[in-house]
Amino acid sequence: MPSWIGQAFRRGILTSRFPRGPASPEEVPETSRPPVLSPTLDPAPALSRATEDCPTGAIDPEGLHHGRCIRCARCTRQGFAFGGRAHPCASRPEDLYSAGGGPLPEREANRALAALGRSLQLFLVDAGSCLACNLEVLALANPYYDASRLGITFVNSPHHADVLVVVGIPTEPLLEPLRRAYEALPGPKAVLAVGACALEGGIFRGNPRTRAPLSDTLPVDLFVPGCPPTPLDILEGVLTLAGRGRGIQEAPP
């Protein structure tokens, strides 16, 4: 007789080895890596050619703004390749700028919530997203990522949360609810901005109906770039907020 328990046992353990072990190649798809300019190319002409092609203004003649990149792959024709270190989250947007288009330097982990120790409660807030970021954040609860093994859980009210996870480009009608949700969080609290839209507006940057960047509305503690970032990127972002981030190591192919 088939049973749920038998079914679950037959599937075995699905959960990622991250953060204790290296991430599998399945967990780091090609577009989850930031684009990096090939080191064999002369940066100046390659950057100026890619500047014309970039739809979000992520590339300028001086370098590459990872927070604006939506991983559309257009710059791959101008000598860029998705080869950077997975997960370049940062506590200041300017830390996501790489002059010359090369890889980003390693940084100190953010310790905004180190006082909370091992347990973090997240409240997801959608400021005007396409739903992809929402579902990637909620994917942390599925058996492949199982964030609860790391003490990370989702709560249904901002009153119970430590971290406000904001996705999407803020739209005018949602600004006030956003502020109120932030005020409802008890301290110590932190704001995690997830995805290119929440960072600087992504592909919608400059649209008159929206109010990007999010950091004009809320004090953001950590930015996780990507369009959308993978669940592993988001998990690493949450761990970084708690001072437990150690970067994503990858298994050799």
Nearest distance from C-beta of residue 75 to another protein, angstroms = 11
Nearest distance from C-beta of residue 78 to another protein, angstroms = 12
Answer yes or no: are the C-beta atoms of 69 and 227 closer than 8 Å.
yes
**Nearer to another protein by C-beta: 204 or 223?**
204
**Nearer to another protein by C-beta: 110 or 201?**
201
Residues lying near another protein in the complex (CB under 8 A): 2-5, 7-8, 11, 14, 26, 29-32, 55, 70-74, 76-77, 82, 123-136, 138-139, 141-144, 156-159, 168-169, 171-174, 176-177, 180-181, 184, 202-204, 207-210, 227-228, 230
Nearest distance from C-beta of residue 239 to another protein, angstroms = 20
**Nearer to another protein by C-beta: 231 or 244?**
231
Q: Which residues pair with 153 in a beta bridge?
A: 121
**Nearer to another protein by C-beta: 104 or 141?**
141
Nearest distance from C-beta of residue 141 to another protein, angstroms = 7
**Nearer to another protein by C-beta: 177 or 219?**
177
Answer yes or no: are the C-beta atoms of 169 and 130 closer than 8 Å.
no
